[in-house]
């Protein structure tokens, strides 16, 4: 497994692989790799001859310095995981490689970034789209794989790639979950034991909403009332947002759902009363009535 930390070296390697007729897949990550990331590698493997992984904790997508500093960094473990998974190359860019001194250029998608995480985290998606565009230009992949757990991020990156004409296929892979249903996330390890138990309220609320919609409930107010009622069972949870939006445009649905509808959640879980764990923001989602277009 090759480990490369300079953009120009990576570009030369990508040019050589393309000239040899090999199809490249990139899985961009921020490290602290878990089984969810490995499922992205597996998806990439189905679509390419070589799978590359990038590991970079991108400073421009964090709205709080404390969150950036506290993000888990486990490089040696991550490299071992990649090697075991058969990843051919890992790109470890330095900050100055992706953001040269006095950088003035940003990539920004306008409308899709306004709601949901964009409303509560100003500038977050500008950081995401800027760094992803830089990674795509560095690795020159034919396909890039992202998780559907970050549904809005996936939608934004797809729009960016389409609008700017990136010659890359953007693929979304299904969310991988722990045995109790909680979506796998690098942030889960920061939860205190009690908060971790309560975090399952996220998936319970999604399940209840999906069951209600399948049974015929179409009222936005009723569906969201059930979601909030389920989340209220977690005493350490504070809802950032719980919204029903069009699964394609992310436009808010005011009254009744009809066809595929995104139920998007973001919930802050406070540290345990005994001080264990940290305050952690978790997101999750479910597309209701997805089968109506299948």
3-state secondary structure the chain: CEEECCHHHHHHHHHHHHHCCCCEEEEEECCCCCHHHHHHHHHHHHHCCEEEEEECCCHHHCCCHHHHHHCCCCHHHHHHHHHHCCCCEEECCCHHHHCCCCCCCCCCCCHHHCCCHHHHCCCHHHHHHHHHHHHHHHHCCCEEEEECCCHHHHHHHHHHHHHHCCCCEEEEECCCECCCCCECCCCHHHCCHHHHHHCCHHHHHHHHHHHHHHCCCCEHHHHHHHHHHHHCCCCCEEEEEEEEEECCCCCECCCECCCCEEEEEEEEECCCCCCCCCCEEEEEEEEECHHHHC
Q: Which of 6, 34, 37, 124 is catalytic?
A: 37
Count Cβ atoms below 10 Å from residue 177 Cβ, excluding itself: 15
Q: Are residues 54 and 138 in the same domain?
A: yes
Q: What pLDDT, on the 0 to 100 scale, is given for residue 238?
A: 98
Q: What is the average pLDDT across 213-238?
A: 98
What's the domain range around 122?
A: 2-173
Cα 169 to Cα 158: distance, rounded to the nearest angstrom: 9
Q: How many CB atoms lie within 10 A of CB 16?
A: 10
Task: Between 191 and 65, name the one with better pLDDT.
Answer: 191
pLDDT tier, 115 (very low <50, low <70, confident <90, very high otherwise)? very high
In this structure, are 80 and 162 located in the same domain? yes
**Domain count of the chain?**
2
Only one residue has tokens 């205190």, namely: 192
Bridge partners of 164, per DSSP, are none
Q: Decide if 178 is inside a domain.
A: no
CA angle 106, 108, 111 (to 5 degrees): 165
- CA–CA gap between residue 246 and residue 257 (Å, rounded): 9
Position 293 scores a pLDDT of: 44
Confidence of residue 67 (pLDDT cuts 50, 70, 90): confident
Say if residue 75's pLDDT is above 90.
yes
Domain boundary among 144, 173, 202: 173
Residues 120, 203, single domain; the answer is no
Mean pLDDT taken over the chain: 96
CA-wise closest residue to 85 among 141, 19, 132, 37? 37
Q: Once rounded to an integer, what is the mean pLDDT over residues 6-33?
A: 97
Same domain, 257 and 233: yes
Residues 200 and 259 in one domain: yes
Question: What CATH number does the domain containing 230 carry?
Answer: 3.30.1300.10
- CATH number, domain with residue 59: 3.40.50.620
168 and 192 share one domain = no
119 lies in some domain: yes
Question: Cα separations (Å) of 231 from 12, 34, 44, 160?
Answer: 50, 26, 34, 33
Same domain, 77 and 14: yes
Confirm whether 37 is a catalytic residue: yes
Residue 290 is predicted with a pLDDT of: 87
- 192 and 166 within one domain: no
Question: Does residue 191 have a pLDDT over 50?
Answer: yes
Q: Is 110 domain-assigned?
A: yes
C-alpha–C-alpha distance, residues 211 and 291, integer Å: 13
Clarify whether residues 169 and 192 are in a common domain.
no
């Amino acid at each position: 497994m090759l480990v490369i930390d300079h953009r120009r070296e990576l570009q030369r390697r990508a040019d050589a692989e393309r000239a040899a007729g090999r199809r490249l897949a990139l899985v961009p990550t921020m490290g602290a790799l878990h089984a969810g990331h490995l499922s992205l590698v597996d998806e990439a493997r189905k679509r390419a001859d070589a799978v590359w992984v990038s590991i970079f904790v991108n400073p421009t997508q964090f709205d709080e310095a404390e969150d950036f500093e506290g993000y888990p960094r486990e490089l040696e473990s991550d490299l071992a995981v990649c090697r075991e998974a058969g990843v051919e190359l890992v790109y470890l860019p330095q900050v100055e490689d992706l953001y040269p001194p006095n950088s003035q250029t940003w990539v920004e998608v306008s409308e899709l970034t306004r709601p949901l995480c964009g409303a509560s985290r100003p500038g977050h998606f500008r950081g995401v789209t800027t760094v992803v565009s830089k990674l795509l230009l560095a690795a020159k992949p034919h396909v890039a794989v992202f998780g559907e757990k970050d549904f809005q991020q996936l939608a934004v990156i797809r729009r960016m790639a389409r609008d700017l004409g990136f010659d890359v296929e953007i693929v979304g892979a299904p969310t991988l979950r722990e045995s109790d249903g909680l979506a796998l996330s690098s942030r889960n390890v920061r939860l205190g034991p009690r908060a971790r138990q309560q975090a399952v309220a996220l998936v319970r609320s999604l399940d209840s909403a999906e069951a209600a919609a399948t049974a015929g409930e179409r009222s936005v107010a009723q569906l969201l009332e059930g979601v909030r009622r389920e989340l209220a069972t977690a005493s350490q949870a504070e809802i950032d947002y719980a919204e029903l939006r069009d699964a394609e445009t992310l436009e808010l649905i005011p009254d009744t759902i009809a066809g595929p509808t995104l139920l998007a959640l973001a919930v802050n879980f406070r540290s345990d009363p005994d001080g264990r764990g940290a305050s952690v923001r978790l997101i999750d989602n479910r597309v209701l009535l997805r089968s109506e277009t299948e």
